[in-house]
Structure 1
Amino acid sequence: MNTLEVGTIVNLVVSRETELGYMLMNAKREEVFLHRAETEKGLEENERVKVFLYHDHEGRLAATTTMPFIDMNSIAWLEIVGVQPKLGVFMDIGIKKDILLSKDDLPNERSIWPQEGDKLYCGLRTDKKGRLFADRASNEEIETLSEPAPETLRNQYITGHVYRFNEQGAMIFTDDRHIAFLHRDEGGQRLRLGQRLQVRVTFVREDGRVNASLKAPKEIAYEEDSQQILSYLEQNDGFMRFNDKSNPDDIKRAFGLSKAAFKRAMGKLMKEKKIEQSPEGTKLK
Structure 2
Amino acid sequence: MALKVGRINELQVVRKTDIAYLLKNKDNEEVFLHVNESNHRILTPGSYVDAFLYYDAKGRLAATLQEPIITEGNPGILEVVSVKPGLGVFLNLGISKDVLLSKDDLGEDESLWPLVGAKLFVELRVKTKITARLIPYHELRVIVGNLNIGDEVEGFIQEIGKIGYFVMTDEGNVILVKRSNLRGTHRFGDRITVKITYETPNGYEGNLSGFKEVLRVDDSKMIMDYLIQNGGEMPLTADTGSEEVTRVFGLSRKAFKRALGLLYKERKIEFKDNKTYLVKNHE
TM class by smaller structure: 0.7 to 0.9
Report sequence identity in percent.
33
- 1:241 pairs, out of 233, 236, 245, with 233
**1:199 pairs with 2:191:** no
2:182–2:208 CA contact under 8 A, matched in 1:
yes
2:13–2:47 CA contact under 8 A, matched in 1:
yes
- Which residue of 2 is the match for residue 262 of structure 1? 256
* Alpha-carbon offset, residue 277 of structure 1: 2.1
Range 5-14 or range 239-248, more displaced: 239-248
* Alpha-carbon offset, residue 225 of structure 1: 6.4
2:8–2:50 CA contact under 8 A, matched in 1:
yes
With over 3 angstroms needed to count, the CA separation of the structure-2 counterparts of 1:184 and 1:223, relative to structure 1, is closer
**1:88 pairs with 2:84:** no
* Structure 2 residue matching 1:95: 3-state secondary structure: coil
**1:109 pairs with 2:109:** yes
**How many Å separate the matches in 2 of 1:167 and 1:267?**
33
- Which residue of 2 is the match for residue 209 of structure 1? 203
* Alpha-carbon offset, residue 112 of structure 1: 2.0
**How many Å separate the matches in 1 of 2:136 and 2:278?**
56
With over 3 angstroms needed to count, the CA separation of the structure-2 counterparts of 1:264 and 1:30, relative to structure 1, is closer
**1:180 pairs with 2:172:** no
- Which residue of 2 is the match for residue 29 of structure 1? 28
Count residues with an aligned counterpart. Answer: 270
* Structure 2 residue matching 1:153: 3-state secondary structure: coil
With over 3 angstroms needed to count, the CA separation of the structure-2 counterparts of 1:221 and 1:137, relative to structure 1, is closer
**How many Å separate the matches in 2 of 1:274 and 1:103?**
48
Amino acid at match of 1:22: Y
Uncovered stretches (5+) of structure 1, i.e. residues with no partner: none
With over 3 angstroms needed to count, the CA separation of the structure-2 counterparts of 1:277 and 1:24, relative to structure 1, is same
**How many Å separate the matches in 2 of 1:224 and 1:73?**
47
* Alpha-carbon offset, residue 186 of structure 1: 1.1
* Structure 2 residue matching 1:264: 3-state secondary structure: helix
2:158–2:166 CA contact under 8 A, matched in 1:
yes
2:11–2:49 CA contact under 8 A, matched in 1:
yes
- 1:159 pairs, out of 147, 154, 157, with 154
**1:276 pairs with 2:275:** no
* Alpha-carbon offset, residue 165 of structure 1: 2.7
**How many Å separate the matches in 2 of 1:268 and 1:138?**
40
With over 3 angstroms needed to count, the CA separation of the structure-2 counterparts of 1:27 and 1:241, relative to structure 1, is same
With over 3 angstroms needed to count, the CA separation of the structure-2 counterparts of 1:261 and 1:47, relative to structure 1, is same
2:80–2:114 CA contact under 8 A, matched in 1:
yes
**How many Å separate the matches in 2 of 1:227 and 1:107?**
35
* Structure 1 residue matching 2:71: 3-state secondary structure: coil
- Which residue of 1 is the match for residue 131 of structure 2? 133
* Alpha-carbon offset, residue 281 of structure 1: 4.2
* Structure 1 residue matching 2:104: 3-state secondary structure: helix
**How many Å separate the matches in 1 of 2:202 and 2:2?**
44
- Which residue of 1 is the match for residue 18 of structure 2? 19
2:20–2:34 CA contact under 8 A, matched in 1:
yes
Uncovered stretches (5+) of structure 2, i.e. residues with no partner: none
- Which residue of 2 is the match for residue 147 of structure 1? 143
- Which residue of 2 is the match for residue 47 of structure 1? 47
